[in-house]
Chains A and B, each alone.
Chain A
Amino acid sequence: MTDTEVITYIVDFLVRKQGLSLTEMSNVIAAPFWSTISRKEPAERERLSYLRNAFASLLITGPFSILLGFEGGLLALNDRLKLRSMVVGEKGDMVYIASEEAAIRVIEPNVERIWSPRGGEPVIVTLDHLHK
């Protein structure tokens, strides 16, 4: 099986079978380090600790940069160390995601907002509305 297939199965298991949200799924496969979790507010700390513990074997370490298509949207996620580059650009109601800003600018030279998401922090784009 390729890495892509493995990750697809993991996402399917967490999101469809277990009913986690896409953000929760991201918190499992690209979970923050325990030292980072320990500095969160209590409720967030508990939530992140629960997810890391309950699905410990589904943590994906090492470099990855995922684009996941789902019904009505797109999710982009880097590994928690951000060992891969990823850039997100926006123009009007269009969103562009690539590993290099240059790639986005080739498609849309006048891209308006451009930023690099943090490692482990999912960017979720849906057809109806856009939120980070």
Chain B
Amino acid sequence: MAVDYFYPEYEIVRDPNRCIACRVCERQCANKVHSYDEASGKMVCDDAKCVNCHRCVALCPTRALKIVPSGDTFKSNSNWTDNYMKEIYRQANSGGVLLSSMGNPDNFPVYWDKILINASQVTNPSIDPLREPMETRTFLGKKPTHVKRDSNGRLVPNLEPQLELALPILFGGMSYGAISYNAHECLARAAETIGTFYNTGEGGLHKDFYKYGKNTIVQVASGRFGVHKDYLNAGAAIEIKIGQGAKPGIGGHLPGLKIVGDISQTRMIPMGSDAISPAPHHDIYSIEDLHQLVYSLKEATNYEKPVIVKIAAVHNVAAIASGVARSGADIIAIDGFRGGTGAAPTRIRDNVGIPIELALAAVDQRLREEGIRGNISIICGGSIRNSADVVKAIALGADAVYIATAALLALGCHLCRSCHTGNCNWGIATQKPELVKRLNTDVGTEHLINMLTAWGHEITEMMGGMGINSIEALRGNRLMLRGIGLTDRELAILGIKHAGE
């Protein structure tokens, strides 16, 4: 039975008049799509192997290649879509759990696209950010509950440790193992130049990158890979990873085959040993237990580093955040269900969790109602795609945002969603040396800096339009937002009015 045969999803269109058979496409494709046919002297290709990463298209010197949907379809059915049918065939043949990469691609509402930003007209003059003062500096960390004075009446600075960001944008956690050495280096260097932070993810910190410590957030996940005293003290902050938007409630598993060389050393496990991150931290089964891990980390770092708790956006996120805000954590990171991943079961990625926009609004609202918003800063992530998303997130109540997929795009990712195969032609989600070296770290760093610089300009432009000259005046300022095409319920959860109101 040939039900495992699918007509290729993509078709590689080669213009024979342009192709000079230089064989660049052949060398650039780790999936071995292209080959040279000696007999005819022409390039040929096997479309079935193509993941649509556009590496060959981008590098073809004569623009002879393009990739288009092949157009092959099953009999049209709105219920049994082609995808659902193919998934059954795949499972019927293999007995396997469906595995995917990157964020949920399904057609769920993107609330960012249904929110509009305000601008000033006449009253409260708008500002030209290029020529007038404009501030985006952001501090993350607890705010004091009351001021302290010394015997002379002078204020005593009683702030807990804070993270200072030039822009309210940080790079989200991606482990060395999920992404390459070169990708990590780009993120670290860009964070240093811009004045923000990158995040190790759960794979430990490579010894070469300790020098970027003051711009590094070190992560502690359930597997505790690479976690030791020096690691904890190496970064500017420590993040406890409870969950991830792409796969809430699911642990991680980096197969022993991928635990080689530096990855083994950075994770501090033997070569070839499976790196299993249990679904929960087995010392955290409650907010009280979370409190215990927060404080053991603070004790290990002499109360000098803020502790971040990262959770996935799930149904009871507001109540959970309220608990986190009382756990002693300084910052909460909330990851929405469209967040990326190096590998996740398809069913989990596409069915579990909630959109970040709703989660963020609910959390900010709840913490304000309970009078504990100052206990904790909020970072939100899970598909922040551009500077407008950043502005909307901050107006909905975030102190800052995590970006990760956007950062990978800046490094060359084309969202082919094949990270789990380890054959990333762009040298990002791979550990194969011949692929990793394709990512030039100078160029990659520059691209990240360019993107953040551009976003910075756009953010200040939008702020200027609203007549706001400092980012903290935008935070939680929901009056600057209006919904478009949203129901009353959605507007109520987002805490915004409809356009025209």
Contact = CB atoms under 8 A, between A and B. Distances in A.
B267 to A, nearest CB: 27
Contacts of A83: 285
Interface residues of A, number: 3
A63 interface: yes
A49 to B, nearest CB: 28
A83 B289 CA distance: 11
Interface residues of B, number: 2
A63 B285 CA distance: 7
Nearest to B280: A83
Contacts of B285: 63, 83-84
Interface in A40-64: 63
A83 B286 CA distance: 9
Interface in B270-322: 285-286
A78 B469 CA distance: 55
Contacts of A63: 285-286
Interface string A58-90: 000001000000000000000000011000000
A92 B20 CA distance: 94
Contacts of A84: 285-286
A84 B285 CA distance: 7
A119 to B, nearest CB: 12
A56 B85 CA distance: 35
Contacts of B286: 63, 84
A63 B290 CA distance: 14
A84 B287 CA distance: 12
A84 B286 CA distance: 8
Nearest to B288: A99
A83 B285 CA distance: 6
Nearest to A99: B288
B297 to A, nearest CB: 20
Nearest to A65: B286
A63 B284 CA distance: 11
A30 to B, nearest CB: 15
Interface string B417-434: 000000000000000000
Interface string A21-36: 0000000000000000
The 5 residue pairs across chains A and B that have the minimum distance between CB atoms: A83-B285, A63-B285, A63-B286, A84-B285, A84-B286
5 contacts: A63-B285, A63-B286, A83-B285, A84-B285, A84-B286
